[in-house]
Chains A and B, each alone.
Chain A
Amino acid sequence: MAGNAQLDTSRNPARLLISGDWTLAHYTLLKQQTEQLVGHYDAQTEVDLDEVSSIDTAGASLLVELLGAERVGQLTDTAQKLPAADRALLQTVYSSMRDFCVPVKVAPQNTCILLLSRIGGAVYKLWQDTLQLLGFIGLILQTLVRNLFRPTQWRITPVVAHIEQIGLNAAPIVVLLTFMVGAVVAFLGATVLANFGAGIFTVDLVAFSFLREFGVLLTAILLAGRTASAFTAQIGSMKANEEIDAIRTLGLDPMDLLVLPRVLALLIALPLLTFLAMMAGILGGAVVCVVSLGISPDMFISLLHSDIGVQHFLVGMVKAPFFAFLIAAVGCLEGFKVSGSAESVGEHTTSSVVQSIFIVIVLDAVAALFFMEMGW
């Protein structure tokens, strides 16, 4: 039988009749009833608990709210018909609710103020993040220089292991991706340039774009997604598991142990992968040229020889170490920012990928402007 609370007005003074099952299953119903009763009774109103058939903590808490902790305290002594176990339950609930009172609801804030405070918070966080990243970059450089002159502290094994993970294992996907983008660029060039009777310049288009921009940019974006996220997740879960603290208490430096090998590995792997990407992209373009434009492989190579100076290759390659350094720094820093929960690991992994891709593209745009102005 569902629980029930009603005011018995047949007698004067009226009394409060509490009956039925006061359990979780009827909680919503009971709560409505008790809310309707508010104001219709006072501390002197007689309360009858004799008809209550069962009660659990949810029901007991409602009773305490209905009658007040003190009143329930008295009732547990007077309501003799209630089974001893139920009285004990009431007693436990009312004494714990008395000791830990119900919280005050926080008033909802003005939407306008909330919006402004969020914008302010975001701007402040951006500033703090930038400062932190700059500080972290400084710390990496300091560690690097310190270790440079101490060959005994060079950690060759982890560096090689990381190069395998982030370089060798990523090579197939980098090659495949850039090969296909190369083919697509060649198709685009062939279609547009053929209108001007300049289809032959497709060769230049592919070579220029891959040597100067696409080779390094595609590789960097791919590694930002693949490696920065891995760095953050690895270091982040170590942080959540107090392993970073353990490293510190063992008198070791997490910068030496975790960050430097990763940064160095990426500094070596990214330029190598960039080279692969350039070659694969040009190869993709060449295949399209040979198949659909009727340019023979010999001619393709001789055109490359005559039109494309080596400085384009250098302009592309010189960017690779900068990208590598920043991707590794962002990935590791976000890892260190992780706190406790599993959700935090996910949050910072996302943030590290977004940040590193953003930084790579911004830096690339700035570099493109610079090289163009310099006439390189």
Chain B
Amino acid sequence: MHTPGEAVIEVRGLCNRFGSQTVHENLDLDVYKGEILGVVGGSGTGKSVLLRSIVGLRRPTEGQVRVFGQDLLSLPEEARSKVERRFGVLFQGGALFSSLTVTENIALPLIEHAGLSRPDAEHLACVKLALAGLPLSAADKYPSMLSGGMVKRAALARALALDPDILFLDEPTAGLDPIGAAAFDQLILTLRDAMGLSVFLVTHDLDTLYTITDRVAVLSQKRVLVAAPIKQVEDYDDPWIHEYFHGPRGRAAYEAATKFKEQ
């Protein structure tokens, strides 16, 4: 499915330090156009910090992050905002604006950046909602009235609002029931195929890793230990990776995914 072509994100020599604690040391990572890259790692290995460094929410201590061949941090404010519009970010908790309805949440970037009128933007927001698989009855609700799965879908719809080129997902299936999580995986796969997205996916969900990722990057020992298709990562010689993929959960997920693909 994926052909390692043009890299949309290139991370080179990234270092992130919090006081005396080093999270990343000389980290290199590429994300290619049109692929789904899964990022895994134990708790506290800096998966979210890596995501925040790439989207520009955090200035790395050292190193370079190039997105579409441009260094985000050295770009002037306006050019940077233009690049950032090609990102869609789904935060772990959804981060929907609690004072706006779901439709208004999605319409906001459309009004601010695409210059649409409010009725047009809200209409288009309904289309995005439908794309994310939310019923229209949810459109006029406030985020606090939604269930966890619906919040994730609404947040995905907002991330997709501007038809981004790169989608960042921070644990999208955490807290969803298995059926909801599987449906969400398929949704991401469909959207990737339809819109040609590149997806940067931080997850702990082994089922997700086995069913939809093209490559998996393992964060460990302050850097990317290995980034390759999952079959190769499994066999990588490292005790943590072995434990991760060959533990009882890893086995079960592998078998489930194989069965799923046979169907």
Chain A residues with a Cβ under 8 A of chain B: 23-25, 27-28, 31, 56-58, 61, 85, 88-89, 91-93, 96-97, 99-103, 339-344
Distance in angstroms from A308 CB to nearest chain B CB is 53
A93 CA to B166 CA in the complex, in Å?
A: 19
- A97 in contact with B130 (CB, 8 Å): yes
| Cross-chain contact A97 with B194 (CB below 8 angstroms) | no
Chain A nearest Cβ from B131, distance in angstroms = 5
- Interchain CA distance A24-B124 in the complex, whole Å: 10
Instruction: Enumerate chain A residues within 8 angstroms of B134, measured Cβ to Cβ.
Output: 100
What is the minimal beta-carbon distance from B130 to any residue of chain A, in angstroms? Answer: 4
A57 x B128 contact (CB < 8 A): yes
Would you call B229 an interface residue if the criterion is a C-beta within 8 Å of the partner chain's C-beta atoms? no
**Which of B15-23, B136-144, B208-216, B253-261 has 4 or more CB atoms under 8 Å from chain A?**
B136-144
Chain B interfacial residues counted at CB < 8 A:
34
Residues on B with C-beta less than 8 A from A340 are 98, 142-145
Q: In the complex, A96→B160 CA distance in Å?
A: 15
- Report yes or no: B116 in contact with A27, Cβ–Cβ below 8 A: yes
Known: A97-B130, A100-B135. Is A85-B124 also a contact (CB below 8 A)? no
| A23-B163, A28-B120 known; A341+B142 contact, CB < 8 A | yes
Interfacial chain A residues near B163, Cβ < 8 Å: 23-24, 56-58
Cβ < 8 Å to A, chain B residues 28-76: none
Can you offer 28 A-B residue contacts whose CB atoms are under 8 A?
Answer: A24-B162, A24-B163, A27-B114, A28-B116, A56-B195, A57-B128, A57-B163, A57-B195, A58-B114, A61-B127, A85-B196, A88-B193, A93-B131, A96-B131, A97-B130, A100-B126, A101-B136, A102-B123, A102-B126, A102-B136, A103-B139, A340-B143, A341-B98, A341-B143, A341-B144, A342-B98, A343-B99, A344-B144
Given contacts A88-B193, A96-B131, A341-B144, contact A25 B160 (CB under 8 A): no
Chain B residue numbers with a CB within 8 Å of A24 are 110, 114, 162-163
Asked if B127 contacts A339 (CB within 8 A), the reply is no
Asked if B117 lies at the interface with its beta carbon under 8 angstroms from chain A, I say yes
A238-B191 Cα distance, complex, nearest whole Å: 38
CA distance A23 to B163 in the complex (A): 9
Return chain A residues, CB-CB under 8 Å to B139: 103
**B-side interface residues toward A, CB under 8 Å?**
98-99, 110, 114-117, 120, 123-124, 126-131, 133-136, 139, 142-145, 160, 162-163, 190-191, 193-196
A-B contact count (CB 8 A): 82
For B114, give the chain A residue with the smallest CB separation: A24
CB neighbours of A91 from chain B (8 A): 194
Q: Which residues on the B side are within 8 Å of A58 (C-beta)?
A: 114, 124, 127, 163
- A100 and B124 contact, Cβ closer than 8 Å, known pairs A28-B115, A342-B99: no
A103 touches B162 (CB 8 A): no
The residues of A that contact B110 with a CB separation of less than 8 Å are 24
Verify A57–B160 contact, CB threshold 8 A: yes
B144, A339: Cβ atoms closer than 8 Å: yes
In the A-B complex, the 8 residue pairs with the closest CB atoms? A340-B144, A341-B98, A343-B99, A100-B130, A61-B127, A89-B194, A92-B194, A56-B163
The reply to whether A57 and B127 form a contact with Cβ atoms under 8 Å apart is yes
**Interface contact B143-A93, CB-CB below 8 Å:** no
Q: Is the CB of B193 within 8 A of A57?
A: no
How many angstroms from the CA of A58 to the CA of B126 in the assembled complex?
11
Flag if B195 contacts A89 (CB, 8 Å). yes
Q: Which residues of A contact B127 (CB under 8 A)?
A: 57-58, 61, 93, 96-97
Q: Tell me the complex Cα distance, A61–B163, Å.
A: 12
> B residues within 8 A CB of A28?
115-117, 120
Give the chain A neighbours of B115 by CB distance below 8 A: 28
Question: How far, in whole Å, are A61 and B115 apart by their CA atoms in the complex?
Answer: 17
Cα distance A101–B191 in the bound complex, in angstroms: 19
